[in-house]
Structure formats: C-alpha cells, structure tokens
Amino acid sequence: MEKLIIAAAICGAEVTKENNPAVPYTVSEIVREAKSAYDAGAAVIHLHVREDDGTPTQSKERFQECVDAILKECPDAIIQPSTGGAVGMSDMERLQSTEITPAPEFATLDCGTCNFGGDEIFVNTDNTIFNFAKTMKERGIKPELECFDKGMVDIAMKAHKKGLLEDPMHFDFVLGVQMTATVRDLVFCVGSIPPGSTWTGTGIGRYEFDMATASIIMGGHVRVGFEDNLFIEKGVPAKSNGQLVEKVVKIAKLLGREIASPHEARKILGIKK
Ligand code: KMH
Ligand code: ZN
C-alpha cells in the first residue's frame, strides 16, 4: 500500500479559543501549531488564517505572512491554503489565498453547498466551483476536491468533463457535517471516484479517528486537526495539533502503514515542485 499522507487542518474558521485554548490566531500561534503537526508527521498543512483577535480572514497579506513564517520552520511542508474561508465570504475574498507568491502548490476546492448547522449555509454554486477550478488551473495549483457528500463528487465530475480539473484528481471526503460518517458512507464515496484518483478521509468531531482508521485500512490518506476536532479522546481537549497527528501515526504504525514525507506526498499527489 502507498505510504500515508497526513494532513493537519490546524486552525479552521469556525473553532475558537473558547472551544480549546490551543486554537491558533496570531502568526506565531499558527507557526507553533503547524510545526507541532509537521514534527509529528504531517506532510500537508491545511491552512486558514485569522486576525490576531481570532476573526477569520482570507487576506492575501495575512496568508503570505503565515505561509512564509511556516516555511521558515517547516521548509518542505506542503501548505494547502483554504479557498473555503468562512461562511458568508464572497468568492473574490475567498480566492485571495491563491494569490500569494509563489503560488500555492495545493489548495482546497469545495464542490458543493453544505448545511453547516443551524442557519449556516456554506454556499458553493456550480459557477463558483467552475470559476475556482479554472482559476486554480490557470495558477498551476492542484485542487483538493472537498466533498461533504457524494453529490459533490458528481459536481466535481462535471468540472472534470468541462476540462477544468486535471487527472489525477485528489478528493477529500469531509464526513460528519452534511453526510454521516460511517465506514459505509466512506466506502460509498470512495467507490464513486474515477480510478487513478487519490483520496483523503476526514471525520468531523467524534468521527475523526474512526474515519482516520478506516482511511488507513482502505488505502486512503488522513486529515486531522483542530478545524475538525478539538479532542484527543472523549472529554479530553487536545494540547496541540501535533498530538492529534501523533495519534494517527500510532494507529498507522499498529496497522503497518508507513508515513509519507512531504517529498513522498508530492509524488503520490502528482505535485511537481
Ligand atoms: N470553513 C468552511 C466554511 C475549506 O477549507 O475549503 C469552509 C472550509 C472548507 O473550511
Ligand atoms: Zn478548511
């Protein structure tokens, strides 16, 4: 089986220090969390950024500052800026994270509209998705196709048919938000993607380590981090993103799956550097 790529979603846009005091806001806190995940074995850092007071932002300047600072400490990490940002942001605002220099190697592309609980709706119309795919293609950025349910795989395939997405595609199944997060759900989603694609399994909240374990066994890759889950075990807040990554490394070792370095992860994902 291919080596395991671990992605750490270190910050997110929805969680706060009230939820877990280790959630990073400032540049130095973001670097601290990225380094803890990288040192523990994460090859990919999925990045959202904040103002110092915790307000989510997609400011190009703030992304540039954070990416440059992370790369000083984690020189070969694959940094994957979010183009999802936070609920309610405009498309133009969200795409700013792809405008940094050099252009990111990898970035998220959310493949559909999603209920985020209560009255929150994360809006991604077909035109938004096609426009983001086109922009990333023009900028030479590999998209990670964020699919919160199987219908989003179908929308990604429409973009592929239009020539906006190149093979091999990489999917991330973010389960436990709009779709439940059972092994059956994951198997169904994975069975819907074209042969030759790679994929990551992400479980939200208490499903984080269930989906991680299933993904390790099934030959997929794994995402963990504060964006998705704040607890190392039931009722015990994680001290750092690194602690969450360490737990995945332990599970992978027990199951006989080796961990990919950033260099190996680029090869698996077809990212040229
Ligand atoms: N914060 C969500 C609204 C992504 O990073 O691309 C969007 C999100 C997905 O987190
Ligand atoms: Zn995100």
Per the prediction, the chain carries an average pLDDT of 98
Instruction: Give me the pLDDT at residue 134, please.
Output: 98
Domain for residue 1, yes or no? Answer: no
At 134-187, the pLDDT tens digits run 999 999 999 999 999 999 999 999 999 999 999 999 999 999 999 999 999 999
Total structural domains in the chain?
A: 1
Domain for residue 229, yes or no? Answer: yes
- Region 195-213: mean pLDDT is 98
- Name residues with Cβ closer than 5 Å to ligand 2, which is an ion: 82
Which residue, by CA, sits nearest to atom 4 of ligand 1? 84
Domain for residue 28, yes or no? Answer: yes
The alpha carbon torsion through 104, 164, 1, 231 (nearest 10 deg) reads 60
Report whether 177 contacts 202 (CB < 8 A): no
Most ligand 1 atoms within 8 A of CB, residue of 82, 120, 128, 132 to mutate: 82
Domain for residue 158, yes or no? Answer: yes
Report whether 189 contacts 173 (CB < 8 A): yes
Write 179-186 long-range contacts (CB < 8 A, 24+). Answer: 179/148, 179/149, 179/150, 181/207, 181/210, 181/211, 183/210, 183/214, 186/211, 186/214, 186/215, 186/218
pLDDT band at 39 (very low <50, low <70, confident <90, very high): very high
Most ligand 1 atoms within 8 A of CB, residue of 44, 58, 108 to mutate: 108
Which atom of ligand 1 is the closest one to the Cα of 46? Answer: 5
Instruction: Give me the pLDDT at residue 182, please.
Output: 98
Record the tokens describing residue 188, joined without a space: 């169904």
Domain for residue 248, yes or no? Answer: yes
Q: What is the CATH number of the domain that holds 58?
A: 3.20.20.70
At 93-115, the pLDDT tens digits run 999 999 999 999 999 999 999 99
- Region 12-39: mean pLDDT is 98
Contacts of 29 (CB under 8 A, 6+ apart): none
Q: Which domain holds residue 167?
A: 6-269
Q: How many CB atoms lie within 10 A of CB 51?
A: 12
C-beta of 128 in contact with ligand 1 (< 6 A): no
Record the tokens describing residue 249, joined without a space: 């490394």
Domain for residue 265, yes or no? Answer: yes
- Region 243-250: mean pLDDT is 98
